Structures are given as structure tokens and as C-alpha cells.
Amino acid sequence: MIAIKPERLLADLRTLAKFGQYKTGVDRIAFSDEDIAARKWIAERYREAGLEASMDRFGTVYGIAPGVNKAVLIGSHSDTVPQGGWLDGALGVIYGLEVARAAQEAGYLPFGVDAINFQDEEGTYLPCLGSRFMIGTIDDAALDAAHATDGRKLTDAIARARLSGVPRKLDPKRQIAFLEGHIEQGPRLESSGNKVAVITSMAGIRRMTVTSEGRADHAGTTPMNMREDALTPLLRFGSFVVDVFPKLSSGETVWNIGRIEATPGAANVVPSGAGLSLEFRDSDETVLDRIEVAVSEQIAALNKAGSRMSLDVTTRITPTPMDVGIVETFEKAAQDVGYGHERMVSGAGHDAMFLARKIPTGMIFIPSIGGRSHDIAENTKDEDIVAGCVVMARAAEILACGA
């Protein structure tokens, strides 16, 4: 039996949080000194746990169970957003460490447990760099082009970190499944009281910018009927999103206008330009299609009425279903250990989204207090952290016993 040790799990999580600690959170962006130090510390823990540990030139850390030719792979990422939370990514990494360590302690199992700590899931340079490279969807051109929003290049960051290990490709013959644990980043589990959510799908995402053109005029001297105000049609469009999206929703759909602006942005100048960002997410691609069509039609209708708006769809991420067998394994595991559970769609992307393209993949979420995420206020009760790891260990055990 794989028996995790709660005190050790919590102690390791708290130690990891000291690398780049920022108030109650962590600032450990990919390739920073704190990030590399944390990764070296994780490699050392893998080694202590009896795994063959290595770090590649990106900083992804592998912990390979010795003496087996099949293994369940468990992990996440230890990089964070600037001034982020202490659990996002870190929780899944330490779950991987603890379950792999407990599996070593358990002695012989038909299959082993490998652990992994991916690099740059948060996309400082290239979102999910580690997991995408591992499944072979990043080429040299993408690596050469990758840079942070402030212009720093990924290749310089790698050189500065003095890393040289050869990346491992995913080995679907060995790695029979990928499991990832994560905090929910939302308030549903806290609200339902369940200890665990079993993820059935990663939501698809459509992200777009809507822009409107007009003409700058003096707002005091130009009569209303002689203006070409760029903002007015954008406000009409915003009102459409507020009023009509609830009718287009599947019930589970989420959407957001996160950015809006008018240029030149002076109180007494009629806007010559205006723009906003819109995104919506659902696990059902037909719902995403339906909403995108409605958005296009609304913009066409506003343009027919005289506005000059345009729509640029910048992101179309297809929903990624999790493996049905893994979903059922997680549910059985939660049942075996006696924890309330529910199914959930993940609104956010994770490394699991990419692993799922190659091997059976699944995720669990544990409650996050107040649903806080990407924020130093992010937190989870110790007992919930432990409960999640118990479910993860039981699921690994079921899979590793080939049952």
C-alpha cells in the first residue's frame, strides 16, 4: 500500500514556499535564481526518495523510479506568476514527490511512480514550456523566438541559468498515465463542501479583441450628430455581452471582458479608437462556436448601423477531455478513502492539457480558500492538502497495480 506521510508532505510544501517567498505568497518566475534553486532542491528530494533525478536545460526536473519499465507519472510545475500563491503548481509537484517517495517505501509494485516538475507553465517565456517540449510540440524556432513581455529572451534566460541537461521525451511505453493535483482556483469546492473535484475536461478557450475606429473631435465643439465616436459602438457591444451572453451560455460557460480602453483617452476628446478583450470558455466546442457566431453577427449588425468595428480571434483552444478511465479511477480512489467528490470542468489550462494528447491523463482539484488564485492570498487548509494527496496516492496505487 502507498501510505503518504502528511507531516512530511506539509513540511516539504512549506520549505518549497521559502524559495522566492513574498509576504504570504511566492514570487518564483521561471528561470529566476529562486526558481532554479527550488528546482535543485526538488531534484535533491527526488534523489533522497530513491528516484533517479535529473534536471534538463530548461529546468524541468525528472524523478525516475528505478527498476521498473512501467510507471505512473505524477507532477506539475514549481514556477509561479509574479507575486503568486504558494500552492499553484507547487502542490502538484510535492504530490508527485510524496506519492513517488511513498511508493518507493511501499516496496514492490507492478508499476513504479515517476515524478516530474515542469518548467514555465505560467508562460513567463513560453506557456507550458516543459510539458509541451516533452510531448514534442515545441521546435527550435519557437524556442528562439520566445521572450518575456519585457523583451528578455528565453535563450538568454537559459544561458544565464547555466543549465545543460538533455530533455527527456515522454515515453508512452513506460509512462502509462499522467496525474496532476492542483488547487481549484475557484470557489466551487469550498461552496459544495467536497474534498476533491475530478476533472472531466479542460475547457476550450476563445479569446479575441474587438476594436472600433472613429475620429477624434473636440468633445465641446462638435455636435453629437457630426461625430464618429469609436467608444459608443463598443459600449453597445459591451452591453450585448452583459445582456445576451447569459442566454447563449451552456450554464457552465464563463466569459470575461478583462481589458477595455479608449484612445486618446482624454475627457474632452471624442475617442478616435476603442478596444476590448473578450474571452469565453466551455468544455463543449459547439457552445463556443455558437457564441463566436453571435459575437460576429452582433459586430456585423453594429457595422451595418455605421460603426467601424473589427474582431480578431487571437486564441482558439479546443476543449481537452480527460481520460475516462482515469476519471473513474480518481472517483474510485476518493470513494475508497471516504472523501466527498464531484466532477468539474477546469476553466484554466494546465500541463495535463498537453500530456493528455499522448497518454491517459487526469487531474484532481482540492478546495482553495475563497477561490483565491494567482495571488499571495491563495491558501488551502492543511487537512484538504493532505486529503488530496491521499486520493492521489490511492489512484496511483490502483493504476500501478494494473487494477
Q: Which is nearer to a second copy, 68 or 257 (CB)?
A: 257
**257 in contact with a second copy (CB under 8 A):** yes
Q: How far apart are CA 349 and CA 356, in angstroms?
A: 12
Q: What is the CA radius of gyration of the chain?
A: 24
Applying CB under 8 A, among 220, 247, 286, 306 the residue interacting with a second copy is 220
Strands 196-202 and 175-183: unpaired
DSSP structure class, residue 120: -
Query: At residue 193, what is the residue type?
Result: G
Applying CB under 8 A, among 261, 297, 312, 328 the residue interacting with a second copy is 261
Applying CB under 8 A, among 60, 104, 117, 232 the residue interacting with a second copy is 232
User: Is the peptide bond preceding residue 319 cis, with omega within 30 degrees of 0?
Assistant: no
Q: Find the shortest distance in angstroms from Cβ 364 to a second copy.
A: 14
β-strand partners of 277: 209, 259
What residues between 155 and 214 interact with a second copy by CB under 8 A?
184-188, 191, 203, 205, 207
Applying CB under 8 A, among 112, 271, 319, 388 the residue interacting with a second copy is 271
Q: Which is nearer to a second copy, 44 or 312 (CB)?
A: 312
Applying CB under 8 A, among 10, 348, 369, 376 the residue interacting with a second copy is 348
Q: Which is nearer to a second copy, 18 or 343 (CB)?
A: 343
3-state secondary structure of 64: strand
**255 in contact with a second copy (CB under 8 A):** yes
**347 in contact with a second copy (CB under 8 A):** yes
**316 in contact with a second copy (CB under 8 A):** no
Q: How far apart are CA 195 and CA 193, in angstroms?
A: 7
C-alpha cell at 174: 513506460
Burial class, 57, CB count within 10 angstroms (exposed 0-12 / middle 13-18 / buried 19+): middle
**236 in contact with a second copy (CB under 8 A):** yes
Phi, psi (rounded to 5 degrees) for 337:
-95, 0
**374 in contact with a second copy (CB under 8 A):** yes
Q: How far apart are CA 387 and CA 366, in angstroms?
A: 8
**123 in contact with a second copy (CB under 8 A):** no
Q: Which is nearer to a second copy, 44 or 261 (CB)?
A: 261
**268 in contact with a second copy (CB under 8 A):** yes
Q: Find the shortest distance in angstroms from Cβ 90 to a second copy.
A: 17
For residues 194 and 340, the answer to whether their CB atoms sit within 8 Å is yes
Q: Find the shortest distance in angstroms from Cβ 249 to a second copy.
A: 7
Name residues whose C-beta falls within 8 Å of residue 369's C-beta, 6 or more positions apart in sequence: 190, 378, 379, 380, 381
Burial class, 167, CB count within 10 angstroms (exposed 0-12 / middle 13-18 / buried 19+): middle
Query: Which residues of the chain form contacts with a second copy (CB under 8 A)?
Result: 184-188, 191, 203, 205, 207, 216-224, 226, 229, 231-232, 235-236, 238-239, 241-242, 246, 249, 253-262, 265-271, 274, 277, 279, 281, 346-349, 371, 373-375
